[in-house]
Structure 1
Amino acid sequence: MSPNNASGNGQKSPPAGAVPEQWTTGLCDCFDDPRNCIVTCCCPCITFGQNAEIIDRGATSCFIGGLIFCLLAQVGVACLYTCSYRTKLRGLHSLPGDSCDDCLLHWCCIHCALCQEYRELKNHGLDPSIGWVANAEKMNRGATTMPPMTLGMDR
């Protein structure tokens, strides 16, 4: 196992001595995005599905993620699945916390946690509401429209 994969779950750990970034919004800042807050309160499976698709870079579709959430919610254990995506998100953006915190947070405040994760993705330039393919296309367009970098000084 490499030093950047100490957890063994495929997520990179920040380099030793690196200071983790902070969450861009607080857990209870749900009204920073009122539309997402309402959607998450009424149907958290939608927000979770959107987040999961972006975090998994399209490997999990919004529909499948939401469906799994709904099925697990029926037996009261959705948080055991959703907390793993918070852990993945933290790994992707070097955010503070640990797996136990993620689980406890999703157990106690799943709606607030899903809203915070959605906002975090948006604040990192990704829009969960449009899906992974559209985000990837948007990133590719941005990469091709950047002016070329030159070495040295221009006259």
Structure 2
Amino acid sequence: MELTTVVTQNQMQMTSKWNSGLCDCCMEMKSCCYAFWCCPCFACSTTADFGEGLCLPLIDILGPGMLAACGVAVCVPPVTLSMRTAVRNKYGIKGSLFEDIMISCCCIWCSWCQMHREIKYHNVPVMVVTSQPVCLNQPISTTGVIMSAPPGTAVVTRMM
């Protein structure tokens, strides 16, 4: 996937798409089952992976009940909507607030699964490999170990 970021007058334009579709929950059966059988726990772990408070999604469960007791009807889960918008903004994903509201209200489990996949995609560690020209038939030394490589062979060592 190609990601392009265009910065114009201190505003970032959204030029990327979600890495998976809203209904691609079965791409990762483990997280799909986790979300289906215990969505509050799944939402909490997804929020923590994003760097927000672990128990933040519990507001979606407790908040409407408390507000309904006071006579205020709430149909949009505030944390789900906020998280979806934050994920979209952080990773430069195209979309609108209206779309986020509709998805948060109608497809809450699919929304959390999609956010989980997106966060997981962007949190993959990156390994930088540099190469230098290798002299032919000359030993290569790495941390006291002498190795020789045939001509045209790249030697990759991993330091632990």
For the criterion TM > 0.5, the same-fold answer is yes
TM interval, shorter chain, is: 0.5 to 0.7
User: Aligned AA for 2:81?
Assistant: C
Is the CA contact 2:56–2:79 (under 8 Å) kept in the aligned structure 1?
Answer: no
Q: What corresponds to 1:21 in structure 2? A: 16
Between Structure 1 and Structure 2, the one with more strand by share is 2
Instruction: Give how far 1:42 is off.
Output: 1.9
State the alpha-carbon separation in 2 of the partners of residues 106 and 66 from structure 1: 12
User: Aligned AA for 2:110?
Assistant: C
Between Structure 1 and Structure 2, the one with more helix by share is 1
Considering Cα pairs closer than 8 Å and 6+ residues apart, tell me whether 1 or 2 has the greater RCO: 1
Is the CA contact 1:90–1:96 (under 8 Å) kept in the aligned structure 2?
Answer: yes
State the alpha-carbon separation in 1 of the partners of residues 93 and 83 from structure 2: 13
Q: What corresponds to 2:34 in structure 1? A: 39
Q: Which runs of 5+ in 2 are unaligned?
A: 1-7, 69-73, 135-160
Q: What corresponds to 1:90 in structure 2? A: 88
Following superposition of structure 1 onto structure 2, how do residues 139-150 of structure 1 map, counting pairs within 5 Å?
146=128
After TM superposition, the score normalised by the length of structure 1 is: 0.63
Change in Cα spacing, 1:4 to 1:42, as seen in structure 2 (3 Å) is: farther
Change in Cα spacing, 1:20 to 1:117, as seen in structure 2 (3 Å) is: same
Q: What corresponds to 1:69 in structure 2? A: 60
Q: What corresponds to 1:53 in structure 2? A: 48
Instruction: Give how far 1:77 is off.
Output: 4.5
Give the number of aligned pairs: 120
Q: What corresponds to 1:113 in structure 2? A: 111
State the alpha-carbon separation in 2 of the partners of residues 103 and 84 from structure 1: 9
Q: Which runs of 5+ in 1 are unaligned?
A: 6-12, 127-138
Instruction: Give how far 1:51 is off.
Output: 2.2
Per-residue CA deviations over 1:64-102 (Å, capped at 9, x if unaligned) read 224323313646646232111111101111101011110
State the identity as a percent.
24
Is the CA contact 1:52–1:85 (under 8 Å) kept in the aligned structure 2?
Answer: yes
Is the CA contact 1:20–1:95 (under 8 Å) kept in the aligned structure 2?
Answer: yes
State the alpha-carbon separation in 1 of the partners of residues 84 and 59 from structure 2: 16
How well do the aligned residues superpose, as a CA RMSD in angstroms?
A: 2.7
